[in-house]
Amino acid sequence: MRGRSKRHEKMLKEVDAKRRYPLDDAVKVLKKITAGTKFNQTINVVMHLGIDPKNADQMIRGSVSLPKGIGSTKKVIAFVDGNEADEAKAAGAMEVGVDDLIKKVNDGWTDFDVAIAHPRTMAKVGKLGRVLGPAGKMPSPKNGTVTSDVATAVKEFAAGKIEFRNDAGGNVHAIVGKASFPEGDLKENIDAFINHIKRMKPPTSKGLFIKKACVSGTMSPAIELEVAQ
């Protein structure tokens, strides 16, 4: 515990809590403070947005494939039948089907990361809301998990396509890579995610949209980013 405390104190000294770092500088500091740990830390971005989380018109929710991936894969299932089920399986889905798969999930099986559904199955899949909703795994057209092109969605999400949704405090969280990524790859991913969120500003959101943006590793202090509006 003492060693961890010393390491954390050392990391804190590398980060100026009063500064908003340009992306280039932020990534250099991030690489420095995440080096030397015993595992490959996950890099996260958190953005505090100028939205009213209670207003449905201002909800920020979606999915995006980052240019350099996130350094990990996801377990994906697909609610689909016929030839499209075979295509989804070939694209990387760990389980495919409709009635049998719905029963399996309804019985409590949720050992997967993402559920994709074809629109024609949603009348049945919708009944899984009480199981998948609390886990954040309910298919939705808003984040691309309800789609007619199931195979493509399976391939993208299995490869690490990320989902995001603002929380009750108006914050959006996302994994943008690993500490082992080259600086250029991290910068490209972070920039892509921030710009994606910028384009989602609701018309009813007034004033500053991105109030604060920070990047951090699993065990590192947050580094505040300088973000152009």
User: pLDDT tens per residue, the chain (229 residues)?
Assistant: 445 567 667 777 888 889 999 999 999 999 999 987 889 999 999 999 999 999 999 999 999 999 999 998 899 999 999 999 999 999 999 999 999 999 999 999 999 999 999 999 999 999 999 999 999 899 999 999 999 999 999 999 998 899 999 999 999 999 999 999 999 999 999 999 999 999 999 999 989 999 999 999 998 899 999 998 7
Instruction: Please indicate, yes or no, whether residues 99 and 154 belong to a single structural domain of this protein.
Output: yes
Out of 120, 141, 159, a domain closes at 159
pTM here is 0.81
The verdict on residue 182 lying in a domain is: yes
Instruction: Please indicate, yes or no, whether residues 110 and 59 belong to a single structural domain of this protein.
Output: no
Contacts of 11 (CB under 8 A, 6+ apart): 33, 220, 221
Domain of 93: which CATH number? 3.40.50.790
The verdict on residue 30 lying in a domain is: yes
The verdict on residue 177 lying in a domain is: yes
Instruction: Please indicate, yes or no, whether residues 23 and 64 belong to a single structural domain of this protein.
Output: yes
The verdict on residue 171 lying in a domain is: yes
Contacts of 153 (CB under 8 A, 6+ apart): 78, 116, 144, 145, 147
How many domains does the chain fold into?
Answer: 2
Predicted confidence at residue 229, as pLDDT, reads 74
Task: State the angle between helix axes of 150-158 and 83-91 in degrees (0 to 180), rounded to the nearest 10.
Answer: 20
Segments forming the whole domain that contains residue 153 = 76-159
Domain of 51: which CATH number? 3.30.190.20
Instruction: Please indicate, yes or no, whether residues 196 and 220 belong to a single structural domain of this protein.
Output: yes
Of 144, 176, 165, 5, the closest CA to residue 78 belongs to: 144
Instruction: Please indicate, yes or no, whether residues 144 and 179 belong to a single structural domain of this protein.
Output: no
Out of 138, 159, 180, a domain closes at 159
Instruction: Please indicate, yes or no, whether residues 129 and 23 belong to a single structural domain of this protein.
Output: no
